[in-house]
Amino acid sequence: MSMTSPVISLIVPCFNEQKRVKESIEAIATFFSAEEDAFEIVVVDDGSTDRTASIVETLIASNPSLVKNARLIRVGHKGKGWAVRNGMVNSKARYRFISDLDLSVPLTHIKDFVKSMKSGADVVIASRQLDGSQRLNEPRRRFLASRFFNQIIRRFLLLGVSDSQCGFKGFTADTADAIFSVQCLNGYCFDPEVLFIAKKMNYTVIERPVIWTHQASSKINLKVDSIKMLWDLFRIRIYSMMGKYTQRNRRI
C-alpha cells in the first residue's frame, strides 16, 4: 500500500468471479493510474469457492501499481452487503465508492461524485432514472421489474430517491464510518438499508444521472431476489424500531 493516504477508495465485492476478475481489476487500475488523486482498490472476496481470490492475489503481486494501491480482503461467504461493509470499515480514504465488478457504471463518474461531496453532499448515488441517465442493453423485462421494485422500496422506506439499487455509490469518510458501523443486512437489500440509515442520521443524499450498461452475466434472479428483498424491507423497519441504527461503532 502506498505511504500516501488515499483520497479515493473503490470497494469491489466479489463472489466466484474467476472468469472476469482479472480483466475488471486491470481496467480499474488503468483508470486510476491516469488520475491525480491518491487511490486504493479494495477487493473484498466474499468466500469464493473458485479461483477468484488467488487470481486477485497474483494480479496484485505482479502489477507494480496494484502492489502499492490495491489489497484483497477475504471474508467468509455471507453476501454482498457483508463484503461491502468489510471494505468500507477497513478503508481510510476520504471518499469511498462501491462498484460492481462488472463496471456497469463507468468509473469516469467518480470525478463528478467527488465534486458533489466536496460541495456538501454526504452520500452520492448513481441513478438510472433521472433525466440525463442512459440504460444500455437492458432487457425490457428487467427494466420493468427494476422500476416496479424501486417504487416498492421508495414507498415502503420513504427514501425519497429514484433508484436505490444501482450498485455505484459514494460516501464521505465520516458518513461511511457512521453508516456501515451499524448497517446489518448481508445480502442483496443492503443498498436501501444504507440509504435508510443515511436518512435516519440526517445525512445529505443526492442522486446523479449515470450511463449504465446491463451485463448479461448479471447474477440477479428476479423471482428469488424479489422475495428476499420484500423480507429484508420488513427487517429494516424492525431493526429501526429496535434501535439498531443508532448504535455507533458496532463490531461487524
Q: Residue by residue, what is the 3-state secondary structure of the chain?
A: CCCCCCCEEEEEEECCCCCCHHHHHHHHHHHHHCCCCCEEEEEEEECCCCCHHHHHHHHHHHCHHHHHHEEEEEECCCCHHHHHHHHHHCCCCCEEEECCCCCCCCHHHHHHHHHHHHCCCCEEEEECCCCCCEEECCCHHHHHHHHHHHHHHHHHHCCCCCCCCCCCEEEEHHHHHHHHCCCCCCCCCHHHHHHHHHHHCCCCEEEEECEEECCCCCCCCHHHHHHHHHHHHHHHHHHHHCCHHHCCCCCC
Residue 108: predicted pLDDT: 97
Residue 1: predicted pLDDT: 43
What is the arithmetic mean of pLDDT over 206-231? Answer: 80
Q: Which domains does the chain have, with CATH numbers?
A: 8-246 (3.90.550.10)
pLDDT single digits (tens) 25-80: 999 999 999 988 899 999 999 999 999 999 999 999 998 889 889 999 999 999 99
Does residue 223 surpass a pLDDT of 80?
no
Q: Are 203 and 122 in contact (CB under 8 A)?
A: yes
Q: What's this model's pTM, rounded to 2 decimal places? A: 0.91
pLDDT single digits (tens) 164-208: 989 999 999 999 999 999 999 998 789 999 999 999 999 999 999
